[in-house]
Structure 1
Amino acid sequence: MRETGSQSKGIRLSDQQRLNWLRLIRSDNVGPASFRDLIAYCGSAAAALERLPQLVRSTAKRPLRIHSQQDAEQELEAIDRAGARLIGMGEPDYPQYLRQMLNPPPIVTVLGDTQLFCKPPVAIVGARNASATACAFTSQLVRDLGQSAFSIVSGFARGIDTAAHKASLETGTIAVLAGGLNRPYPPENMPLLDQVIDNGGIIISEMPFDWVPRAQDFPRRNRIIAGLSLGLAVIEAAQRSGSLISARLAGEMGRLVFAVPGSPLDPRASGTNTLLKNGAIMLTQAQDIFDALAPMLRKDGTAPQQAGFVFTEDSAQILAQAAPLSFETSNNQPNGSADIERIRNALSSTPASVDAIIRHTALTPSAVHLALLELDLAGQLQRSNDGLIALLPT
């Protein structure tokens, strides 16, 4: 396997910052949203690691496990031995469309030529038990897209995903894994993994390097697939399928969703037909994608480059992806138990916006954000992909 870095310029994380970022995101209950909030509140990953025990002392039922420096160093060494890289959001090689989504993964592990992220990406998803006709259509569609300088993003699963990756090996394929780079699934696709890298493609994951994928990790992978792309095409999908999750996530992110119509008698087409009824763009040929995405591209057919973030880790701007957070009390102690209990009582199992919680409690935005951060770190909060929050059942 070979790895080629991008030629893009920009400020990168130092080795110590990269280690701190890895430790923070691998600690218990720290997800993309709480990672951003911790940086905004504490000023840096190093400071956040020091303050984590204090932040959850009054709300967590057990001490928070903080990822050790030794374990982080071992993961970085494994990544390096594999020829891969750990890329932080804001670094020049971080996928530009991924960092535009709400709460993108702070770090991703990437193996392959990151120049491929500069090509306009289209995601292809569909049934694992895909029909021969659907696989043939996928291969032709992907070849046509590749010849027009599009890269292909898919989830490395059986069926449609495999057909999409194979057909785009020579023109640019990006495989998103549900587990770590060292644990691709399904195992029978291992030879395909080598082909992806040997042909200049990319393998990417937000999970730890040696992570064995679980059922709950595949929706997280679907979120990355949607976030990496300009548009997402569903070839075949039943009513209850991961492909429809990907389509919903893509729609929530403002990506275009395409669907291939199918026979009403084929259960594998019921999901795509429903997408079409709900407003997805009908897809019967590559030209349908060209026409829909053309307004988003430059005249030469390439995707416009987005400006990178300024890397000053002592500033909350480092992760100012959405509206910047304000923590006026950043140098004070965490919220008192009364404020936390007040906010917990305002929450329920029904998702609500942060603004609604602020209005209901009449607390300052800073106090609400900090209390939500504490509840999140204590494992009591659920965040949806559209930014809503809910209380997890106890």
Structure 2
Amino acid sequence: MTDTLSEAERRDWLRLARTENVGPVTFDQLIQRFGTAGRALEALPDLAKRGGRRLTLAGDAAVDKELADGAALGARLIASCEAAFPRALAALDPPPPILWARGRVEMLDRSSVAVVGARVASAAGQRFARGLASDLGQAGQVIVSGLARGIDAAAHEGALPTGTVAVLGGGIDDIYPPEHAALYGRMVEAGCVVSESEPGRTAVARDFPRRNRIISGLSRAVVVVEAELRSGSLITARLAAEQGREVLAVPGSPLDPRAKGTNDLIRQGAALCEGAEDVLRALDGLRSLREPDRRYDDAAAGDPDDALRAAVAALISPTPVSRDEIVRATGAPAPAVFAALVELALAGRCELAPGGMVSTS
């Protein structure tokens, strides 16, 4: 952790984060192994070649454009190693490498609760979300959501006077749906908008699980107001549980499909939420979030040989498996196995997911 990166270090950090096949897990492993983004960038071509494929590094022109576009919006780029990075998000293992923020950035370090739910929400659900967000805001909580239609928008509106954060799937300027342009403008003035993506990027389907991970990561608890059984809000709830956050759900009529997801969450052990008091009670019993102990130095990672690399690759399939299982199956030292996985990931031959899971890309 450092107070702030130099301009050159920030460019390296951004360039590494934007290089193909470098997701949060690979990024974190590279920083642990090489100590700085600059040294990791120097090593990348050789590492990817060992994995079996050439790698294209993010270019200086793309980095220049992203920094210029962010500056033109008045947005701030915060690296996960900097003191200004939100502490709750830094507690993820691993955190997103970078975050663009626009608005009142200080809100990102206040105690927060996510309120999420259906886009096609009932009038009653929207009223409940708006009132819950208002009550929690008056109790000192910042409300986090995704600026989507329905429950998200109602939660933001309820919390605008006290503090609210919107997490976007696209770039920091990707206002979706378009009719939320006025709400977005109010958020920039009175709240905060954040994104992991580069300015100018239009969100696609694969961006929303990453967006949901940040929503839950910024929050000490997640409240799901309405959700069908196959809902992105349930992904946010699952991520919250994996991250050690409290999960609450608002019960609903079994006749309403929008209640099936929330009722199922309660059936699986989520706390029932009938108002702000339930959320505040859950927060009282929640342990403080601690940042994982990461070593940003030249941690010895081992140097896997061709035989180990081939053995590791043979153990990976479309079915996710934990890194620890791969270590046990090979019988090799964990650092060498992890190094082999990074090389394969850089070559596009596997995907390293948060939580220690590995699968083919």
TM-score normalised by L of structure 2: 0.95
TM-superposed CA distance for 1:10, in Å, is: 6.3
TM-superposed CA distance for 1:78, in Å, is: 1.4
Paired position in structure 1 for 2:143:
152
1:31 has 2:30 as partner: no
TM-superposed CA distance for 1:43, in Å, is: 2.4
Q: CA RMSD in A?
A: 2.0
Paired position in structure 2 for 1:257:
247
Aligned residue identity for 2:89: L
**SS of equivalent residue, structure 1 residue 56:** helix
TM-superposed CA distance for 1:186, in Å, is: 1.3
TM-superposed CA distance for 1:118, in Å, is: 2.9
Distance in 2 of aligned mates of 1:92 and 1:46: 20
Of 230-239 and 336-345, deviating more is 336-345
- Which residue among 326, 334, 353 is the counterpart of 1:365? 334
Paired position in structure 2 for 1:327:
300
1:77 has 2:68 as partner: yes
Paired position in structure 2 for 1:48:
40
Paired position in structure 1 for 2:237:
247
Is the 1:326–1:365 Cα contact (8 Å) retained in structure 2? no
TM-superposed CA distance for 1:326, in Å, is: 4.5
Paired position in structure 1 for 2:216:
226
Distance in 1 of aligned mates of 2:261 and 2:301: 47
Paired position in structure 1 for 2:184:
193
Is the 1:351–1:389 Cα contact (8 Å) retained in structure 2? yes
For 1:16-165, list aligned pairs within 5 A: 16-61=8-53, 63-165=54-156
Which consecutive residues of structure 2, in runs of 5 or more, have no partner in the other structure? none
Is the 2:321–2:357 Cα contact (8 Å) retained in structure 1? yes
Aligned residue identity for 1:317: R
The total of aligned residue pairs comes to 361
Alignment deviations for residues 174-229 of structure 1 (CA, whole Å, 9 cap, x no partner): 00000001212112211111101212x11000011111100111111011101110
1:317 has 2:309 as partner: no
TM-superposed CA distance for 1:296, in Å, is: 4.0
TM-score normalised by L of structure 1: 0.87
Paired position in structure 2 for 1:377:
346
Identity of aligned residues (%): 42
TM-superposed CA distance for 1:328, in Å, is: 4.6
1:211 has 2:180 as partner: no
Distance in 2 of aligned mates of 1:369 and 1:10: 26
Distance in 2 of aligned mates of 1:260 and 1:60: 49
Paired position in structure 2 for 1:301:
none
Is the 2:224–2:237 Cα contact (8 Å) retained in structure 1? yes
Distance in 2 of aligned mates of 1:141 and 1:149: 13
**Deviation beyond 3 Å, 4+ runs, structure 1:** 304-309
Residues 1:307 and 1:41: Cα distance change in structure 2 (over 3 Å): closer
TM-superposed CA distance for 1:306, in Å, is: 6.4
**SS of equivalent residue, structure 1 residue 210:** coil
Residues 1:306 and 1:41: Cα distance change in structure 2 (over 3 Å): closer
Which consecutive residues of structure 1, in runs of 5 or more, have no partner in the other structure? 1-8, 298-303, 310-315, 320-324
Distance in 2 of aligned mates of 1:343 and 1:118: 40
Paired position in structure 2 for 1:300:
none
Residues 1:113 and 1:156: Cα distance change in structure 2 (over 3 Å): same
Alignment deviations for residues 259-284 of structure 1 (CA, whole Å, 9 cap, x no partner): 00000000011000000100000001
**SS of equivalent residue, structure 2 residue 359:** strand
Of 80-89 and 225-234, deviating more is 80-89
Distance in 1 of aligned mates of 2:2 and 2:24: 23
Is the 1:91–1:308 Cα contact (8 Å) retained in structure 2? no
For 1:237-316, list aligned pairs within 5 A: 237-296=227-286
Distance in 2 of aligned mates of 1:23 and 1:203: 22
Paired position in structure 1 for 2:312:
343
Distance in 2 of aligned mates of 1:75 and 1:195: 24
TM-superposed CA distance for 1:356, in Å, is: 1.8
Distance in 2 of aligned mates of 1:357 and 1:308: 22
Is the 2:79–2:85 Cα contact (8 Å) retained in structure 1? yes
Alignment deviations for residues 279-327 of structure 1 (CA, whole Å, 9 cap, x no partner): 0000011100011102348xxxxxx796899xxxxxx7239xxxxx942
Is the 2:220–2:245 Cα contact (8 Å) retained in structure 1? yes
Aligned residue identity for 2:113: V
